[in-house]
Amino acid sequence: MKICVVGAGGIGGLLAARLAQSGEEVTVIARGPHLAAIRANGLKLIEEDGRENISRIAATDKIADVSEQDLVILGMKAHQVAAVVRDLPAMYGRDTAVLTAQNGIPWWYFLRVSGPHEGRRLESVDPGGIIADNLPAERVLGSVVYPAAEITEPGVIKHIEGNRFSIAEIDNSKTERIVRISEALQKAGFKAPVAGDIRAEIWTKLWGNLSFNPISALTHATLEDICKFQPTRDAAARLMREAQSVGEALGVRFRIPLEKRIAGAEAVGPHKTSMLQDIEAGRGIEADALIGSVIELGQIANVPTPQIETVYACVKLLAATLARDGGRLRIEKA
């Protein structure tokens, strides 16, 4: 397949490198020193076990430079999608699919699904409906991203852990194209099951993201630290219970117990969440997709979310403070 990965950061770069190694025709959209390094030296992937591979792939910072693709993978953070959707049609053919690989509640959550909220837009993840207006729902595929990966230097991706990308049509139908893409991802070395209920799986992943990510960003603690310190373990559990109430009010069935989900996070070890990594790097954070969206869904379902709202306010203030101070935390000494 001809595949373009828009946003060749940690997850996008991991996908691009593995797919290129398996024989797919891959192009990446990247910027700055990362783009320059990929053009000059290829995209290096350091696997979890230390093995290194370099893929020579096409790279550009202009979507308009890319020809018609079979698959477009949106590898950027959720709050960055709106900035590119108007440019994506340059890569569309009749059957081009667009795989969304963002954390949190997706902008398409109420699209192509039956129920009282069918077709409703979520302002928290798609302000003004920019994404929905410019990305046809029939092209969209959903995913739940489990791996952790990061850019260690320009042109170099480090795979930290995890190997699963659950994918699905957003109406949960099992189509020829979703099976084909699942097979391509498996050929590239990923576990890539076609999910039977993509929204339920999104909630299982989000359950941890909306609790551990903000706590880690506010405390600079790892997953292991948060889970082993009883007060923060309890705080995460309270956030998760609120979120579970929202999800269940919308018809979602949580398939694992809350404590098992927390134990799974603890087992990851001394890993920094993506939100903490973004805070330390002075980047924008996914507060709205991971936390604000659950507050909005709670309002839709008439379920109160006071603890989630408190954490959301603190994280948004942290992000605003960092933006004001040029992306750096200023610590005053007494």
Torsional class of 42: left (φ above 0), alpha (ψ -120 to 50), beta (otherwise) = left
Catalytic residue among 2, 187, 191, 205: 205
**How many alpha carbons lie under 13 Å from residue 249 in its C-beta half-sphere?**
19
* Residue 222 and residue 207 in contact, taking contact as beta carbons nearer than 8 Å: no
205 has catalytic annotation: yes
End-to-end CA distance of the chain: give it in Å, rounded: 59
Strand bridging mode 148-153 / 43-46:
unpaired
* Residue 41 and residue 59 in contact, taking contact as beta carbons nearer than 8 Å: no
Rounded to whole angstroms, how far apart are CA atoms 188 and 57? 15
* Beta sheet of 58-60, edge-to-edge order: 58-60, 25-29, 2-6, 71-74, 97-100, 140-145, 165-169
Q: Which amino acid is at 230?
A: Q
DSSP assignment of 269-312: -SPPPHHHHHHHHT----HIIIIIHHHHHHHHHT---HHHHHHH
Tokens 């990247």 belong to residue: 30
**How many alpha carbons lie under 13 Å from residue 293 in its C-beta half-sphere?**
27
Catalytic residues: 205
